[in-house]
Amino acid sequence: MSTRRIVTGHDAHGRAVFAADDSCDPLTFTIFDPFAFTKLWSGDVVPSFPNDGTQPGGHSFFPPPGGIRFFKMTVPPDSGRKFTPEQRLAGYTESESLVPGLATHMERNNPGLHTSDSIDFGYVIEGEIWLELDGGVQKRLSAGDTFVQSATRHAWRNKTNKPCTMLFVIVGVSRSPQGISLVKRPADQLAPQSAGDA
């Protein structure tokens, strides 16, 4: 389902104008269906104004320090979704072609877990989702809940039988070590996963 997007900007005299009133179509995944990603806005540098409202664009899923991403994401239910290693690899390959940079942050030995160099602001539009951190500690979020995810190692777990849709704004930050380096760490150096629910 397309999402309407209205963008404002400035004309040559600095007056506020509508720069765009259009629709953004979701990218859907065949392997991890009904996972869907709708890019609403992106930029890799801190914006300056006035400007004409043109989208600066971004080169990867996660922004560099000072960059921003604005998107909607639908996460399918986890229940009954068992993937073979070949299917999971195909899913990561498809993900990398549709949203470059997302799959490379995912831990291969801990599906779903990843660490980004960003602070993520989010709102649950529809459904329920569990935010998992180190040690398997989890918090349930429902429609209307918000979150601020501070460059921590995490995963999104949909334990229901319905998709969950969330709205995100993520801002690139400096992080040490970088999140991508954690993907390559040996499994015994990562926090153990255990059941946890709140």
Quote the domain boundaries for residue 105.
27-189
Residue 114, domain member (yes or no): yes
Number of domains in the chain: 1
Taking alpha carbons only, the member of 165, 153, 156, 162 closest to residue 28 is 165
Which tens digits make up the pLDDT trace of 132-179?
999 999 999 999 999 999 999 999 999 999 999 999 999 999 999 888
Which tens digits make up the pLDDT trace of 30-52?
877 778 899 999 999 988 899 99
Q: What is the mean pLDDT of residues 12-25?
A: 96
Contact 197, 130 (CB under 8 A): yes
Which pLDDT belongs to residue 190?
45
Residue 175, domain member (yes or no): yes
Taking alpha carbons only, the member of 194, 92, 188, 74 closest to residue 134 is 194
Residue 132, domain member (yes or no): yes
- Residue 80 pLDDT > 70: no
Are β-strands 36-43 and 68-75 bridged in parallel, bridged antiparallel, or unpaired? antiparallel
Tokens of 188: 């015994």
CA distance 149 to 170: 9
CA distance 17 to 140: 41
Contact 34, 91 (CB under 8 A): no
Residue 9, domain member (yes or no): no
- Which CATH number does the domain housing residue 96 bear? 2.60.120.10
Find tokens 């398997």 and name the residue.
136
Q: Cα 104 vs. chain centroid, distance in angstroms? A: 13
Residue 183, domain member (yes or no): yes
Contact 60, 12 (CB under 8 A): no
- Residue 191 pLDDT > 60: no
Residue 2, domain member (yes or no): no
Residue 16, domain member (yes or no): no
Instruction: Indicate the average pLDDT of the chain.
Output: 88
Residue 15, domain member (yes or no): no
